[in-house]
Chain A
Amino acid sequence: MTLAAAIERSKRNREDWKYTDLPALLARRAQNAPMPITALPATANDDARLVFVNGIFHPAQSRFGSIPSCILMGDERSGYKLTLGEHTCLVAQPVELVFTTDESATDEIDINLSIDIGANGRLTLLERHLPSRAFSTIDINVTLHESAKFVHGKMTSGGAHIARTNVNVARGGYYSHFGLTRGGLPMRHDIDVHLMDEQAQAALHGVMLLRGGDHADITTRIAHNAPHGVSRQMFKTVLGDKSRGVFQGKIYVAPHAQKTDGHQISRALLLSDSAEMDAKPELEIYADDVKCSHGSTIGDLDADALFYLRARGLSETQARALLIDAFTGEVIDDIPVPAWRDLFRADMEGWQS
């Protein structure tokens, strides 16, 4: 996917891009100062870290740790391919993909990556985008074979980013996503999950922290194409200043996908008079024996809760920080990788100050 293709797509599917006017946002971005290049953050352990500079895999800066180096194939032209064989388990060794840029970066960086996990394979992978002055697009195609399990973390920290994650899940497979979106102008992430066979499951979680003139849009579609599928979605958005947040989430249940159990919740905190949140949760259901629901709320911090904390001696700032922390905590606490939890929390602390 390129930026031009994304603009074309947004014009074609106006209903899908109702709240994100890509050309207008790009024009606004052009007026902002470019983001500084950040150095590669240090890691405390020897976990595998694959570094991409300007969209190109950089072996010198990478470290494979205990995982085989043949796991990653391909190049920037034909796209990269990460393959995990049958019964291969990389849960104890989370893989980190770091995307960064240097002075020689072009204006636009497009990345294609496919991830294939064999039957009964297990992968834990963090996709981490460092701030960049380039416009980045990333297309990730995930195939989970029978009973494969994939825990996918994604961190973005502002800038212009358009991402598409397309996931196919076979019988008994499980896809779990944790996203932390810190700003973006514009940021758009489409997550499409296809539960292709019985007992396939998906769980999508996300936190968006927006301020300034940020505009971030997360659009999910979970297609239940077979019986006995389970899906869970929880998205939390905190909006300050003049930021705008968008969450669009669809649960689709095909005819015959009986006994589907789908649940989705999106909640947003509006902390400023100038911020805006738009939510479009959607159910499209063609089978009768299903349990599907969605919920959505938009509002400020609870005045009673604030008062309670103030009465206990906390300052206004402390009390608000604590409540925001609790609000996002519902997502962060569920992250199964302790190191990611700490990383997400550290990143969020930086946002609040």
Chain B
Amino acid sequence: MSTTTDALARDLASQAYKYGFVTDIDSDVAPPGLTESTIHFISTKKGEPAWLLDWRLKAFSHWRTMAEPDWAKLHYPPIDYQAASYYAAPKQANKPKTLDEVDPELLATYAKLGIPLQEQEILAGVTERRVAVDAVFDSVSVATTYKKELESHGIIFCPISEAVHNHPDLVRKYLGSVVPVTDNFFATLNSAVFTDGSFVYIPKGVRCPMELSTYFRINAENTGQFERTLIIADEGASVSYLEGCTAPKRDENQLHAAVVELVALDDANIKYSTVQNWYPGDKDGKGGIYNFVTKRGACRGKRSKISWTQVETGSAITWKYPSCVLQGDDSVGEFYSVAITNNFQQADTGTKMIHIGKNTKSTIIAKGISAGRAQSTYRGLVKILRTAKGARNKTQCDSLLIGDKCGAHTVPYIESRQPAARVEHEATTSKVSEDQLFYCQQRGLNAEEAMALIVNGFCREVLQELPMEFAVEAQKLVGISLEGSVG
């Protein structure tokens, strides 16, 4: 192995985590443990209607009959579900009505994370792209920006705990309709104990005028975060939604089990982008978030489209398969993913594309980069049902290995029952070739720039799918891993 890749592997292993600080704030924390009374506690805290409490209890009693899945290529000590606390919220005398009333400590935290919670005025002549943010801190949403402006378009963008009160019909109709209560171990756990998350409803024919975004922050110690996001795009609506997440550096592992449900009706379009940067643990594999997430979108309407883009750089364990159920004729599902793992991180991630409607199309592009002692697995399912005449799928999975102690794996499942469907899958595994590095260096780049260029090029097909603001952040994230690797 060359000195370049050696140095790069060393650098990746030593990459610092910038978001590892702790905010010193008084919190309301539920005592550790998970029983029915925990669920009553959460439900009471949120002032929930009875139907939701019943729904949670039903999930909980089912969860107790379930076993944790073990098919993923992940190794971690057994999780003690009774040891963590299932609710933590910063203490606030009254719920703040405007941004000015939000605890300055919280505002400072988000400023430090680079998330603007101020609504910027549009300057004359400057067409700046704006992002509406819902900021979730541990178990509660602390602020949501641009609500007024969005309301004028009929768009609902608010914490899901608020939507339960203000839009109960919509929530009741769609909650659990894509990911059923009994879906899987982690989704069922989430259904029982979810605390907050975002709710989005885009009415018929409306194109959302700005990016919507939720920023999840775990702060409290020894807690799990269980957020629930529900996005509905009515006929002809379109929306682009971004999700970001970080957590402090801690030696203990913290559990994060989220559920995201998307519903796209006729001609609707949902673009969901994630930059997942939970604390990955230190260089010896100590600490880090266990990230077990169920994300699924239903293309219910004709010609609807759901597109998932994810950049996974954080978490000690990632177990995540954003999926599309392509029910409507001519509906489209997309999955673009970059997973970067280093040190002792493990990622088992991929997607499921279920083709049900006629002429449904799906594209999967997954890029995995492994460094240090990390293990990265792509696991994906493409299923063509007998009804999906004229369906089309194209899958491409590429893995890049940096160093000789990591692993990269590909486990696709391809099932077809329709002759008039075409399914294509290809996967490759390689390392950055000395020839490529040499070529770039010969053109005047130093070794480190050359490596950054090649790795960014490797991820390009995915990064270019991200909204602009995120693309810059993601490129930097990829870049950071390469800084100072040579010289």
Interface residues of A (CB under 8 A from B): 15, 18, 255-256, 258, 268, 270-300
Contacts of A273 in B (CB 8 A): 386, 418-419
Q: Are A291 and B430 in contact (CB under 8 A)?
A: yes
**CA distance in complex: A279, B5 (Å):** 35
State which of B403, B408, B413, B421 has its C-beta within 8 Å of the C-beta of A285.
B408
State which of B1, B406, B408, B412 has its C-beta within 8 Å of the C-beta of A296.
B412
Q: Can you report 13 residue pairs joining A to B where beta carbons are below 8 Å apart?
A: A258-B404, A268-B416, A276-B415, A276-B416, A278-B414, A281-B410, A282-B410, A283-B410, A283-B411, A291-B430, A296-B412, A296-B414, A300-B419
Q: Which of B1, B416, B429 has the most CB of A within 10 A?
A: B429
Contacts of B411 in A (CB 8 A): 280, 282-283
Q: Which residue of A lies closest to B386 (CB)?
A: A273
State which of A15, A278, A289 has its C-beta within 8 Å of the C-beta of B415.
A278
Q: Are B423 and A290 in contact (CB under 8 A)?
A: no
Q: Are B418 and A281 in contact (CB under 8 A)?
A: no
Contacts of A18 in B (CB 8 A): 413
**CA distance in complex: A272, B419 (Å):** 6
0 or 1 for each of B415-451: is its CB under 8 Å from A? (1 = yes)? 1111111111111111100000000000000000000
Q: Are B426 and A295 in contact (CB under 8 A)?
A: yes
Q: Are B425 and A281 in contact (CB under 8 A)?
A: yes
Q: Are B430 and A298 in contact (CB under 8 A)?
A: no
Q: Which residue of B lies closest to A267 (CB)?
A: B424
Contacts of A299 in B (CB 8 A): 416, 419, 421-423
Q: Are A283 and B409 in contact (CB under 8 A)?
A: yes
* Cβ-based interface call for B402 (8 A): yes
Q: Are A293 and B426 in contact (CB under 8 A)?
A: yes
Q: Which residue of B lies closest to A292 (CB)?
A: B429
Q: Chain A at the B interface: mostly helix, strand, loop or mixed?
A: strand
Q: Given A15-B71, A276-B417, A289-B431, are A295 and B425 also a contact pair (CB < 8 Å)?
A: yes
Task: Beyond A289-B1, A295-B427, list 14 extra A-B contacts (CB 8 Å).
Answer: A270-B419, A276-B417, A278-B415, A279-B415, A282-B412, A283-B399, A285-B407, A286-B407, A288-B404, A290-B429, A292-B430, A293-B426, A294-B410, A298-B384
Q: Are A292 and B428 in contact (CB under 8 A)?
A: yes
Q: Are B427 and A293 in contact (CB under 8 A)?
A: yes
Tell me how many residues of B have a C-beta within 8 Å of chain A.
37
* Cβ-based interface call for B326 (8 A): no
Q: Are B427 and A294 in contact (CB under 8 A)?
A: yes
Contacts of A295 in B (CB 8 A): 424-427
Say how far A283's CB is from chain B's closest CB, in angstroms.
4
State which of A255, A272, A298 has its C-beta within 8 Å of the C-beta of B423.
A298
* Cβ-based interface call for B405 (8 A): yes
0 or 1 for each of B348-378: is its CB under 8 Å from A? (1 = yes)? 0000000000000000000000000000000
Say how far B384's CB is from chain A's closest CB, in angstroms.
8
**CA distance in complex: A292, B409 (Å):** 11
Say how far A293's CB is from chain B's closest CB, in angstroms.
4
0 or 1 for each of B147-174: is its CB under 8 Å from A? (1 = yes)? 0000000000000000000000000000
Contacts of B84 in A (CB 8 A): none
* Cβ-based interface call for B332 (8 A): no
Say how far A285's CB is from chain B's closest CB, in angstroms.
5
State which of B404, B409, B413, B424 has its C-beta within 8 Å of the C-beta of A255.
B404
0 or 1 for each of B452-471: is its CB under 8 Å from A? (1 = yes)? 00000000000000000000
State which of A15, A272, A274, A283 has its C-beta within 8 Å of the C-beta of B427.
A283
Q: Are A275 and B417 in contact (CB under 8 A)?
A: yes
Say how far A153's CB is from chain B's closest CB, in angstroms.
28
* Cβ-based interface call for B263 (8 A): no
Q: Which of A256, A268, A294 has the most CB of B within 10 A?
A: A294
Say how far A241's CB is from chain B's closest CB, in angstroms.
12
* Cβ-based interface call for B401 (8 A): yes
The 3 closest A-B CB pairs, nearest first, are: A288-B401, A270-B419, A299-B422
Q: Are A293 and B416 in contact (CB under 8 A)?
A: no
Say how far B413's CB is from chain A's closest CB, in angstroms.
5
Contacts of B429 in A (CB 8 A): 283, 285, 290-293
Say how far A67's CB is from chain B's closest CB, in angstroms.
43
**CA distance in complex: A297, B426 (Å):** 9
**CA distance in complex: A114, B430 (Å):** 36
Contacts of B413 in A (CB 8 A): 18, 278-280
